[in-house]
Structure 1
Amino acid sequence: MKVVAVVLLALASAVHGHYKFPRLIANGATTQDWQYVRKTTNYQSNGPVTDVSSTQLRCYQLAAGSEGAQTMSVAAGATVGFVADASISHPGTLQFYMAKVPAGQTAASFDGSGAVWFKIFSQGPNISPAGLTWPSQGLRDVAVQIPQCLAPGDYLIRIEHIALHSAGSAGGAQFYIACGQLTVTGSGTKTFSGVSIPGAYKATDPGIMINIYYPVPTSYTAPGPAVVKC
């Protein structure tokens, strides 16, 4: 009976709606759709990225360039959030990355290529013998603090929610992604080395290919680099 119950739970989760992240919350206000977020390929379908080797894993952009997205000015140490269209309906890992824009480019012109992405937040499951619970599941908006020590400049900020309800085989994990455009202000001096996206993940990474239902995992390791520290 336990195996049947687990299978039914997985099937029920799989039929829930998908989602996208078209809006930022920053400076005390929620912005308009795609005002500061680059329009994603799933802007109509809400569908995920499943190929970790695809350039779509970077910002899931519908087209090259910013497509008119503006750049939001925020202070280092401020909180910036993304709003999901509907809600984050699937169980999975929530992560945030940033990338410093190279000299001579802007947040609107930079394509995010190269080993530039550093992780500023990672949230895995709560683990118990009864199963895994995921803090982000069911939320409409999620937020992260910009590192207080971050050097001023233009940045991309990337939200990544990895839905794991069908992740028992390679290619089963679903990535819901968006990139916002920021100018960070303040007196910080810190810059961070980063990883390339795609390139940082493999389809068989233990945090990407995992059966989260049965047998109940006793640990979870999120994919990608460690979260940076000031």
Structure 2
Amino acid sequence: MKLVRQLSLLSVLSLATIKGFAHYTLPDLIVNGTVTADWQYVRETANHYSNGPVTDVTSDAIRCYELDSTSAGAAGIATVAAGSTVGFRSNIALYHPGYLSAYMSPASPAANSNSAGLGKTWFKIWEAKPAYSSSTGMTFPTENEQEFTFTIPKSTPTGQYLLRGEQIALHVASTVDGAQFYIGCAQLNVVNGGSGKPGPLVSFPGAYSPTDPGILINIYTLPAGYAGYQAREYSRRILRYRKSFTTRAIAGPAVWSG
């Protein structure tokens, strides 16, 4: 009986250890419903074995989390039309609570160049916001999904780009450098584009601060301003605050929709 208890305890500890380290990567590009092979168009990331996240938003790893200087040349360049549905598939479900964003950056001279994505060139094209209610607290509609997709704006100019998919996991984000960033950068050749002027433009690193409201946050505690909230109170002030909170709980610039 003692041996059985010890084995059961070891099993529980083993499962806890596995879950603790079972983070994820974003190795697969999705184009119009088709999932491509691992790292076929996505630059291989430094966590391709460990699955570990980036936690320092001031490091160069926050850009594309590349394995090394060979990642860009090893990945191909996928040709997609402006207006196409694209996205990423993770190696396991995105089980951490957090939100998703997608950015693009023009790539010159080519998407597989190591200089692509440097400087203030990135613009956000999509985000999946958290939701909030008094009964559930903050929730994340994309939690436990393995794929996320979005549209390249139809007015995106023709050319080569980096497409950066990201989940910011917030389960331990109540202290500085607690938020976890899971990142993948795919290399694209966008055709049949338009004459839009993407913006606002940001850089990586530079787009985020360790103390941004959407990065330094305790998602398990009611935000300031809800302390006296009662279920029967639906004043305009409270409804405005709820809307603004879920908006400012997203890091980075506004979405450019074209």
If the length of structure 2 is used for normalisation, what is the TM-score? 0.80
Whether 2:184 is the aligned partner of 1:178: answer yes
Distance 1:174 1:15, change over 3 A: same
Aligned pair 1:22/2:10, yes or no?
no
**Number of residue pairs the alignment of both structures matches:** 217
Tell me what 2:64 maps to: 59
Q: Is the 8 A contact 1:99 1:118 kept in 2?
A: yes
Residues 1:150 and 2:156 aligned together: yes
Alignment map for 1:195-210 (pairs within 5 Å):
195-210=202-217
What are the ranges of 5 or more consecutive residues in structure 1 without an aligned counterpart? 1-10
Q: Distance in 2 between matches of 1:113 and 1:174?
A: 22
Please say which structure displays the higher CA radius of gyration.
2
Match of 1:96 among 102, 122, 133: 102
Structure with more of its chain in helix, by fraction: 2
1: distance between equivalents of 2:133 and 2:193?
A: 42
**Structure 2 counterpart SS, 1:144:** strand
The alignment status of 1:227 with 2:255, answered yes or no, reads yes
Query: Which deviates further from its counterpart, 84-93 or 25-34?
Result: 25-34
Measure how far apart 1:229 and its partner are.
Answer: 2.8
Distance 1:137 1:157, change over 3 A: same
- The aligned runs of 1:29-108 (5 Å cut-off) are 29-65=34-70, 66-102=72-108, 105-108=109-112
Q: Report SS of the residue matched to 2:141.
A: coil
Compare 122-131 and 47-56 and name the one that shifted more.
Answer: 122-131
Matched, 1:138 2:144: yes
Distance 2:210 2:31 in 1: 33
Check 1:124–1:28 CA distance in 2 against 1; reply closer, same or farther (3 A cut): closer
Shift in Å at residue 126 of structure 1? 1.2
Q: Is the 8 A contact 1:49 1:175 kept in 2?
A: yes
What is the RMSD of the two structures over their aligned residues, measured on CA atoms? 1.8
- State the 1:142 CA deviation: 0.5
Provide the secondary structure at the position in 2 that maps to 1:58.
helix
Judge conservation of contact 2:62–2:205 (CA < 8 Å) in 1.
Answer: yes
Deviations 1:98-149 (CA, angstroms, capped at 9, x unpaired):
00113xx100114311000000011121101121110111001101100011
Deviation at 1:69, TM superposition (A): 0.3
119, 127, 131: which one aligns with 1:114: 119
Q: Check 1:211–1:99 CA distance in 2 against 1; reply closer, same or farther (3 A cut).
A: same
Question: In structure 2, the residue corresponding to 1:15 is in which secondary structure?
Answer: helix
Q: Of the two structures, which has the highest relative contact order with CA contacts closer than 8 Å and spacing of 6 or more?
A: 1
Q: Judging changes above 3 Å, is the alpha-carbon distance between structure 1 residues 108 and 138 closer, same or farther for their aligned structure 2 residues? A: same
Q: Tell me the alpha carbon deviations over residues 46-86 of structure 1, each in whole angstroms, 9 at most, x when there is no partner.
A: 10000000000000000124141000000000000100011
What is the TM-score with the length of structure 1 in the denominator? 0.89
